[in-house]
Amino acid sequence: MSSKIVFLDRGTLPDDHVFRFTFPHEISDYAQTAAADTALRLAGARIAATNKVRISAEDIAANPQLEMIAVCATGCDHIDLAAARAAGIAVCNVPAYGSESVAEHAFMLMIALMRNLPAYRRDIAAGMWQQSPFFCHFGAPLRDLNGKTLAVFGRGSIGRTLAGYARAFGMEVLFAEHKNAAAVREGYVSFAEALRRADVLSLHCPLTPDTRLMIGEDELRALKPGAVLINCGRGGLVDETALLAALKYGTLGGAGIDVLSQEPPAEGNPLLSANLPHLIVTPHIAWGSSEARRKMCEIIVANIEAFAAGRPQNVIA
């Protein structure tokens, strides 16, 4: 019997990749799917593939034939996992496909902000070097990574990869324990200690009820003057209003942001219009190197093939 596979946001995946499977199947591709259309487009589908299109409890209830949700990403905060579990649906994600891509992006943001690259680009555009009485122009402070402390929030593949890059540059690396944790695990430091000691903190943890807004006004105030915040995890991890205030009026040395609380930011976002020399915002592309996207597609196929063969892999619910 042929299995119907529905890609709800095929437009987010590489155009040049052709998804082929060895079992009898039919594929329905949608470049993007609005929330109001999700349940209808899943009608008759055995397998749903989604990158960022939300699949709610209502969508699941309307499609009792659904057996698998193939998440075309690592994070699964857009899937109602409890509803999927209750319905016996296997939710399979793509772990570790973009560890190097995301870690390199985070490292790029880190070093650019520590060296104040955006500020110097702005100075050059304003003609300040041309007007200098000396051979060089010093504006914003330049800081080495060597000897500084990186606090990583999230000890998964991305966090560990970033830690390796940082150590190669002579940084001390701390892995932060969960916020409000009752105890500190071996190999970690407490959440408060990580904030206090960090010259750079980088967020690589999933968005859950416990991690939502984990970095807010109090946490930003706890950082040492000049500290840099990197968020290549999820926008909801950081209170964006508090972050903007810390950049404008506090002592935060810089922020590199690849994710926002609402994506795409169709209605705007205060971070996008801030025009600050120590703020870099990129459009959720840390994961998207050519190598990472190719690997992701290969794992998506492997996940679906394994499920069809009765041997599900990378199951999270």
Q: Which residues contact 127 (CB under 8 A, 6 or more apart)?
A: none
Predicted pLDDT of residue 158: 96
Q: What band does 271 get if pLDDT is binned at 50, 70 and 90? A: very high
Residues 27 and 308: their CA atoms lie apart, in Å, by 14
Name the residue among 84, 150, 145 with its Cα closest to residue 111: 145
Predicted pLDDT of residue 217: 97
Q: Are residues 65 and 125 in the same domain?
A: no
Predicted pLDDT of residue 317: 75
Residues 284 and 236: their CA atoms lie apart, in Å, by 13
Q: Are residues 93 and 105 in the same domain?
A: no
Percentage of the chain lying above the pLDDT 70 cut: 100
Q: Are residues 275 and 299 in the same domain?
A: no
Q: Are residues 113 and 79 in the same domain?
A: no
- The arithmetic mean of pLDDT across residues 288-317, rounded, is 95
Q: What is the CATH number of the domain that holds 70?
A: 3.40.50.720
Cα 231 versus chain centre, distance? 7
240: helix, strand or coil: helix
Residue type, 154: G
Predicted pLDDT of residue 276: 96
Residues 35 and 78: their CA atoms lie apart, in Å, by 11
- The arithmetic mean of pLDDT across residues 8-23, rounded, is 92
Q: Are residues 88 and 110 in the same domain?
A: no
Q: What band does 186 get if pLDDT is binned at 50, 70 and 90? A: very high
| 314 in any annotated domain | no
Would the pLDDT of 65 be above 80?
Answer: yes
Would the pLDDT of 216 be above 80?
Answer: yes
Q: Are residues 79 and 191 in the same domain?
A: no
Residues 173 and 149: their CA atoms lie apart, in Å, by 6
For the chain, what is the mean pLDDT? 96
Name the residue among 133, 178, 137 with its Cα closest to residue 154: 178
- The arithmetic mean of pLDDT across residues 159-172, rounded, is 98
- The arithmetic mean of pLDDT across residues 69-97, rounded, is 95
| 133 in any annotated domain | yes
- The arithmetic mean of pLDDT across residues 6-14, rounded, is 95
Predicted pLDDT of residue 2: 85
90 with 100: CB under 8 angstroms?
no
Q: What band does 190 get if pLDDT is binned at 50, 70 and 90? A: very high
Q: What band does 75 get if pLDDT is binned at 50, 70 and 90? A: confident
| 316 in any annotated domain | no
List the domain range (segments joined by +) for residue 82.
3-97+291-308
pTM: 0.89
| 206 in any annotated domain | yes
Q: Are residues 190 and 219 in the same domain?
A: yes
Residues 42 and 31: their CA atoms lie apart, in Å, by 14
| 82 in any annotated domain | yes
- Catalytic residues, by residue number, are 234, 263, 284
